[in-house]
Amino acid sequence: MNAPRTLLDKLWNRHEIVRGDEGTSLLWVDRHLVHEGSHHAFRKLSERNLPVAHPELTVAVVDHYAPTRHRDRITDPAQKRMIDTLEENARRHGLTCFGLDDPRQGIVHVIGPEQGLTLPGLLINCGDSHTSTHGAFGALAFGIGATEVAHVLATQTIWQSRPKAMRIRIEGTAGPGVGAKDFALGWIARLGADGAHGHAIEYAGSAVRALSMEGRMTLCNLSIEGGGRLGMIAPDETTLAYLEGRPRAPAGDEWQRACAEWLALTSDDGAAFDREVTIDAAEIAPIVTWGTSPEDALPIDGHVPDPAKLAPREADNVRDALDYMGLTAGQKLAGTPVDQVFIGSCTNARIEDLRAAAAVLAGRRSRVPGMVSPGSTAVKARAEAEGLDRIFIEAGLDWVGSGCSMCVAMNGDIAAPGSRVASTTNRNFKGRQGRGARTHLMSPVMVAAAAVTGALTDVRPLLKGRKP
């Protein structure tokens, strides 16, 4: 009898080619995604006169530097150079490239699932930490550095140390206005920004199963912000329903065989995890961050911490964060004025996210300027077909093109110094959305609520009579 295995065990073992003397594993990579930031890796290949080993398994995506306005006339030479370099590297090596003019273009972690490039059971790498997003499909997906990107391009393999296995169960039913973003920020606030350090997180429990694939992607996306190496969720009927008919997904008899194989990718009963955490979904409220780390998060009805009541080291960190964020010890989060809002990023720019925000904004006006950047050209087209763009525009927000946009502030979309931004993005460290900008992370409905009121606000009263 074989010992019960975790989902991590199953995925790791099926990709392990050989184990090194120090315990590291050489793993086969099924899908490799590259973006503008991968130019260092391509240069390494050129220096050694090496080809891409399996060009059919690598897809290039323009996203980090993609302008969301005036794509036909990019005026920033550095921005244009980064995009041109990726497209030239893709041409030279025979890679599929979703460039600015391609209807499949979008944020790499949005278009992978959207196009059916992301499938259960695969090992997926990208030179971006939020590659963990793809684990929502029961894939082994994690970000890698520039040297590792070059290794994958040249060999279609990667050396990795096996992480420990951690299971986070979220059980029960979430309340109104509470979703995957709140689940993620909630557990990170509880366990800390390094709470899952060195672990592969498997999310489970009835509340996780109740999430759509969009919600599951949001949850896995934020695994990195809690220190996890990756996040994953075992495939189920929700997974299959999302994938069926996707351009790169199996079809016909192959689809039926794939479904049977994918549904077997689940942790066995009795499988041992190195760490287990259980959270009651009913205890999670809409959450916002107050500081400069995702762990600096509280329910919207909470109060900012008081350094005077904390241990010295923690007090210094809190004092520094409050100083940067322009907040005072003990103040209420609700009612804190914001200067602008942003809805976008690989965390929350899918069609479901836009629908949820639009449900709050419909028939209302934003009191502050803001921007909505869909996660892909396809999401943009679908949102426009549903009339969501009109809701955002009539509310007074800018409806722009797809890309990483203000999440990374390297494409022309930048928050002004000192401005306070209600944002659906994934990181709130100093200067993330622009030098001196102050970022509060929250869900799409909470950003919409901040837009309507001009302040950090509990969305729940604004949702009465509406379906997010």
Domain identity same for 424 and 339: yes
Domain identity same for 147 and 97: yes
Domain identity same for 231 and 278: yes
Domain identity same for 313 and 421: yes
Entry pTM: 0.97
Give the pLDDT confidence score for residue 465 in this predicted structure.
84
Tokens of residue 95, six digits: 């890679």
Does residue 256 lie in a domain region? Answer: no
| Domain region containing 49 | 7-163
Domain identity same for 348 and 417: yes
For residue 402, give the nearest of 349, 348, 342, 347 by alpha carbon: 349
Does residue 362 lie in a domain region? Answer: yes
Domain identity same for 438 and 310: yes
Give the pLDDT confidence score for residue 466 in this predicted structure.
81
**Residue 280, C-beta contacts closer than 8 angstroms, at least 6 positions apart:** 171, 172
Does residue 295 lie in a domain region? Answer: yes
Length of the chain: 468
Final residue of a domain: which of 138, 163, 188?
Answer: 163
Give the pLDDT confidence score for residue 1 in this predicted structure.
60
Strand, coil or helix: 186:
helix
Domain identity same for 15 and 139: yes
Q: How many domains does the chain have?
A: 3
Domain identity same for 279 and 327: no
Does residue 250 lie in a domain region? Answer: no
Domain identity same for 318 and 340: yes
- CB-CB contact of 220 with 228 (8 Å): no
Domain identity same for 153 and 185: no
> What residues in the chain have per-residue pLDDT under 50?
none
Does residue 253 lie in a domain region? Answer: no
Domain identity same for 447 and 301: yes
Domain identity same for 45 and 184: no
As a whole number of angstroms, the distance between CA 431 and CA 202 comes to 31
| CATH number of domain containing 322 | 3.30.499.10
